[in-house]
Amino acid sequence: MSIRWQKVRGGFTLVELLVVISIIGVLAALLLPSLAAARASANASASISNMSGFGRGFTIYASQNDGKMCSAAFDHNRDGDIRQVGWVADLIDLKVSVPGQALDAGSRNKISEKVGDYMGATGNSAKEVDDSTPGPWPAGTGFSHTGETYFGGDQKAKEVWQNGYNTNYATTWHFSRGDPTAVDGYASNKKLPVDGDGPLSENHLAQGLTSAARVALMGPARAGDGLDALVGPGNTANSPATGYGAVAQIMNDFAGQQIVKVNDLLVESFNDGMNVPFEDTTLGGANGKKVHEFGDIEPLHQPKDNTGGGGYAPVLFADGHVEKIADTVAYNGTSTGALYDGFIGNGVARDGNGKITAVAIDGPSYQEITDKIWIKRLRNRQSAAGSVNEQ
């Protein structure tokens, strides 16, 4: 009887192990960009789906409310109790969508500045610091219309947050306010309901100078200006006189969970009105003429440069379709490379450090959106007999 011995092979050699690791590294390097691109594409698709759902809700709301597409902007201080008025409340009441759960996933910033307002975490007052006309709250109410006490205590406050009264989409002036009531278009720092003849309605569209397919309603929101948007530490709202920012502890206590961290940024709620100079006569402008700006809608999806510029914003229009509006205008700072200005429809001038010094409509910024978004009044301004209507 003979015994046949078999040679038993040991584990991988060091060389073999290094070869396998190298192959895995190469495959990972090849796959990661594809995975990142797929994730970015999925985020954009989800944003388009969110806004398509909102659009269906606005159509339903209009059918039940004399053609108005929403009740107001999402702005607790200017427009009133966010549980009762504003497009966010409209969609929640209709059970069409919960905006606080239908966020733009591509944005790093998830919380609206107006959430900080109604939670009592900012220095904004019932009577807007930049407006001479009072808002919806009775004179002398101060901050008593904000915070846990106003909403009925700790548990009721948590329910407000949990029920989805939040968004990181910014609406347009056309949607939130209609046309400006000021004779010369947009009066600086006037953003109350009385400063517009809106919100947008079927009458605006039926009597309008353009089609519903060109009237933009909303898109991904840009972070707010300066200390308005900065989440600060502590539990006491800062004073408007020294600059103010949402305060982390107040907001997290109100929500009953961590929704912000110190140095997070909050996003804008709606765009300013006819605030952008449009003086290029070759494009139909005139001295002193102004058009709507869209600076609070950020083209943040799939940026092309290292400043975050060159991307696109999915934008919802009044006819219900969502379209990708690209940032195509060059950045004019001193940085090198193919850079974009990071805005749609706003010509932005910058200094050598990249700080924005002026906003105006010029040739490139006009061409960026003119075929897609209406930037003028929706309707001719009504004027006295014998005078000229002004767009």
The DSSP letter of residue 350 is: E
| Choice among 72-76, 265-269, 270-274, 295-299 with the minimum mean pLDDT | 270-274
Tens digit of pLDDT for each residue in 11-39? 668 777 788 888 888 877 776 666 667 77
What sign does the CA torsion over 359, 226, 40, 321 have? negative
> Is 32 exposed, middle or buried (CB count within 10 Å of its CB: 0-12, 13-18, 19+)?
exposed
pLDDT at residue 101, as a whole number: 97
Give the other-Cβ count within 10 Å of 77's Cβ: 24
pLDDT greater than 80 at residue 244: no
C-beta separation of 341 from 362 below 8 A: no
Angle between helices 248-255 and 154-162 (to 10 degrees): 90
Tokens of 128: 């807007």
pLDDT at residue 257, as a whole number: 95
- Report if residue 140 sits inside a domain: no
C-beta separation of 73 from 86 below 8 A: yes
- Report if residue 317 sits inside a domain: no
| Choice among 87-91, 136-140, 328-332 with the minimum mean pLDDT | 136-140
Band the pLDDT of 52: cuts 50, 70, 90.
very high
- Report if residue 37 sits inside a domain: yes
Q: Which domain holds residue 61?
A: 16-112+166-224+266-272
Closest CA to 165 of 273, 73, 55, 88: 88
- Report if residue 253 sits inside a domain: no
**pTM of the entire structure?**
0.87
Tens digit of pLDDT for each residue in 53-102? 999 999 999 999 999 999 999 999 889 999 999 999 999 999 999 999 99
- Report if residue 171 sits inside a domain: yes
Q: Indicate the number of domains in the chain.
A: 1
Whole-number percent of the chain with pLDDT over 70? 84
pLDDT greater than 50 at residue 294: yes
- Report if residue 75 sits inside a domain: yes
pLDDT greater than 80 at residue 381: no
